[in-house]
Chains A and B, each alone.
Chain A
């Protein structure tokens, strides 16, 4: 007999029609969520911030994403200030 061990697939390797099944295999415990956030944080950190000749680019990308995020959140109130009604 052969024992089959389920392999944890990364997101890039999952095919689209398998996506709901893949989401169900993910770890939704608090510890698993924290680990996922840490993975994501350190992936970004090591790729863009923790580099040899670092510049402000890594941090300013995060800040610009923050601006966009806050714009999306406050879009409803900002809609009243449009200069023209139909763009």
Chain B
């Protein structure tokens, strides 16, 4: 059973060739480009959702920060669509792989830090020290703030990986528990099935929320540094 649990997180291989690139590119097929002023229903719904999220995310930024809106909205759409597609049976979710999430988190975080360093050097260095600290605490606090700065990309990546992986694992476990309990006691199996349904609803929410949190935090780091 242990091998089966983690089998869905292994890289899918077709005829000896890993097809991860194809799977990562698949969500792009679900977002067609709007060609006209008034489009079909699918594109209209996507446009409405994109406007909603972009207003929500980018309204607190200065104009310099709003230059990042294309990057952040496409990041949000990518993570949300990849996580939601992972809810389909037997599918492979690329965001469960730590390598991919690190590859997304580190460049974006580094971009915000470097922009801050280059344009407002004093301001970004001043962020390392909170206001109103007693003088004798300053050295220690600077070290703590530096550590917390460098842990930001790690936290971004690991948060996304852990949430999605844990959710999928839990669904697998409770699903197989329901199947195993059906022969032993039908009533317990029913309760487990209700737990499974609730978990599925939670998973859909988590998929969207994680995308939002990732993008929100990147935008926060951007705000600090613009």
A contacts, CB < 8 Å to B: 41, 45, 49-55, 58-59, 62-63, 66-67, 70-71, 73-74, 77-78, 80-81
Contact = CB atoms under 8 A, between A and B. Distances in A.
B30 A77 contact: no
Given A77-B7, A80-B4, A81-B4, A70 B40 contact: no
B19 interface: yes
Given A66-B91, A70-B90, A74-B12, A45 B32 contact: yes
B12 A51 contact: no
Interface of B: 4, 7-8, 10, 12-14, 19, 26, 29-30, 32, 39-42, 85, 88-92
A61 B32 CA distance: 16
B171 to A, nearest CB: 15
Contacts of A77: 4, 7, 10
Given A50-B39, A67-B90, 16 more contacts: A45-B32, A49-B40, A50-B32, A50-B40, A54-B41, A54-B42, A62-B30, A63-B85, A66-B85, A67-B91, A70-B88, A70-B92, A73-B13, A73-B19, A74-B90, A81-B4
Contacts of B39: 50
Given A51-B40, A77-B4, A77-B7, A71 B29 contact: no
Nearest to B88: A67
A70 B26 CA distance: 12
Nearest to A50: B40
Given A73-B19, A74-B7, A77-B7, A49 B42 contact: yes
Contacts of B85: 63, 66
Contacts of A52: 40
B29 A41 contact: yes
A67 B26 CA distance: 12
Contact of B8 (A51, A54, A59, A74): A74
Contacts of A74: 7-8, 12, 90
Contacts of A73: 12-14, 19
Nearest to B15: A73
A59 B42 contact: yes
B202 to A, nearest CB: 21
Nearest to B19: A73
A54 B42 CA distance: 7
22 contacts: A45-B32, A49-B32, A50-B39, A50-B40, A52-B40, A54-B40, A54-B42, A59-B30, A62-B29, A63-B88, A66-B85, A66-B88, A70-B88, A70-B90, A73-B13, A73-B14, A73-B19, A74-B7, A74-B12, A74-B90, A77-B7, A81-B4
Contacts of B8: 74
